[in-house]
Each structure stands twice: as structure tokens, then as C-alpha cells.
Amino acid sequence: MQRSIDIGEANAKDPILRYEQFLRVLGKSEDTITRYLVVARDFTALKHIRRGYTKQDVLDYLQHVMARAPDRRTRTPGQASGTYLRFCFYALKSYFRCHGWKWDFQKEDVPKGSPPHRPWYTYEEMEKILEATKEYGFERDVVLFRIEPLTFARRKGLQQLVRWDYDSAKGVITMPSVKHGRRVAIELDKETRDLMNHYLLHRTDQYPALFPSFRPWKQSGQLSTAYINRLLRFFAEKAKVPNKGMHAFRRGMVTYLYEHGLREREIFEMGDWNRPDMVFQYVQLSPTFAQDIRREVHPFYQTSEKRAEPKLRQGPELRVPREEGPRRRRLLRR
């Protein structure tokens, strides 16, 4: 049963403003609202229709997205990722719901697109990047690339961190929510707390951002997305590690915690996801991981490994070598 949502009469004539107010009433984050509005504007600009959209209009738009957005790895036109196409699908579904239009097709109708590419950093690679920041970066960069694996935060979450998100008395950092409005408090280890306290004590700027830029593009002083990407590219090159993107820290740390015994529910509480099953999309297990675990815990493997070596049989069952003539007959009579 859908609940009725009051979005006001002022925005009734403008479908985009009405949709924006609809998303705010639902409690969506600013990042999600911005991305949903981009899809809605592109959709209305493509069709130039105010009402009465059909299923074919939505399918035409998705095909338009595939032709316009090339694959980020191969740059081949018409290879937009299936993840982005499904995102457009859900954005348009909520757009139709906002205006009360009929939505008569399922998720299976969405074009498949290219398979998702999910690179991830191993724990050893993350340590190499951190060592490179200590050697070539500022103190801000060292704290930034130490906080990122510990909290497996999204890049925009790092940008939105402010000074008061860190409680120096308790050693707890509260990560802002990027998508789902759920702030997560994570306790830091002693070494990270010491680095953070020393970093905040010796800062001379007055920006509220926890990791400010030396040339801020906003009054809060927060880092830009392009600058964070340049930082990672520089330190990854110095560490001789492939540049896999900031989100590879998130996948790599989720995998590391899962492999070392942290349960799915505990990882979900730290990750700011919408559904618990999202954890399994981030865990990147090695092909032999399940087999190695079975050998450690399964009783069949344990008993077979502890079984003693068979002994050679002794006694009359040993066969006498075959010989010819009377000598062989004498041996058989014995």
C-alpha cells in the first residue's frame, strides 16, 4: 500500500520541481536527489512530453543512454554498464510514481548493458599506498588514506567529513551518510587516534572540512572529487600499485573483514547500504577461499588428514618369487 505524500500545490505545474520535492519528502540524500533529477531532466528533454508517457518511451530513453554513455574501460559506444541502466530504471520509476503515471513493466525489461567491473585493493596494496603517503604526502594525506580503509567510506563521504564528526575524547569518528541517511559511528585504533589528534592540533586553517583543500572550491574548504582522484593516482604510482579508484578501498576492506571472520550483519552496519544483501556484491573472494575454509572446519577433511599411514603387511601373505625347476617345488612344499 503506497502512502500519500503531500508535496505542495506550488510545484504542481513544474514536473521537475514536483519530483524534487517528492524526493525530499521521502528523505533521500542530496547526492541521490541530484542524480535522480539529472535522469528526470534528460528523460523529459528527450521526449518533450509533459504527461502520458508509455513503456516504449522509457525503453527508448534507456537505449539512448546506452548509445550516449560509452563503457569507461573500453570507451566503446553502446556499452553502458548494466548498473547505470538499472539506476536510470529506478529513477524513472519513482518519477512516474510521483506524477501518478502508469508503470507497466518490470526490471527484466531493462537492457543488460556491459557486465560490471569491480576492482578491489588487497590489504597489502592498501598498506603500500599508505606507506607512499607517509613518504611523499602531507599529514592530511596520511590521515585521509588511513581513515579510508578503516571506515571503507565512499569518496563523497570523505569530502563531507567535518571537524566535529571526530570525537577526540572517545576516539570515535561519525561517518556522514551519502545515500541512505544513516550515520555510522566507528571507533578508531590508537595509532589512528594519535595521528588524527596530532593532525588537528597543528592545523592552521579555519575550514570546517576535516580534510580541506589548499585551494578550496567551497566555503567549507572540502576537497574536490578530481583532486581526490589525483591524490590516489599519484600515491598509487609511487607505491607501484595499479590505480583502481577510491571505491576499490571499500571493496577491498569489506573483503578483508569478511575473510577474517566479521559477519555480514556487522559489515552491513558499518557500510551505509540500503539492503543487507549488498554486502555480498562487495565481497571479492579468491577462487580457492571456500575450499580452504572447508579443509579447516569440515570433519571429513580433518579425519582424512589425521589418518595414519598404512603399514606393510607381514607374514605368509608375502609372495615367493617365481622360480623354475626343482628349487621352486621345494620352496612351495615349505
Identify whether 70 is part of a domain: yes
Identify whether 279 is part of a domain: no
Q: What is the DSSP letter of 243?
A: -
Q: What is the DSSP letter of 114?
A: B
Identify whether 321 is part of a domain: no
Whether residues 136 and 103 share a domain: the answer is no
Q: What are 256-267's pLDDT values in tens digits?
A: 888 888 888 888
Exposure string of 172-197, with b = 16+ CB inside 10 Å and e = fewer, is ebbbbbbbeeeebebebeeebbebbe
Identify whether 22 is part of a domain: yes
Whether residues 159 and 209 share a domain: the answer is yes
Domain that holds residue 167: 126-244
pLDDT at res. 204: 82
What CATH number is attached to the domain comprising 239? Answer: 1.10.443.10
Model pTM greater than 0.75?
A: no
Q: What are 27-64's pLDDT values in tens digits?
A: 887 778 888 999 999 888 876 655 567 778 888 888 88
Long-range contacts of 41-45 (CB under 8 A, 24+ apart): 41/16, 43/92, 43/95, 44/15, 44/16
pLDDT at res. 51: 57
Whether residues 141 and 227 share a domain: the answer is yes
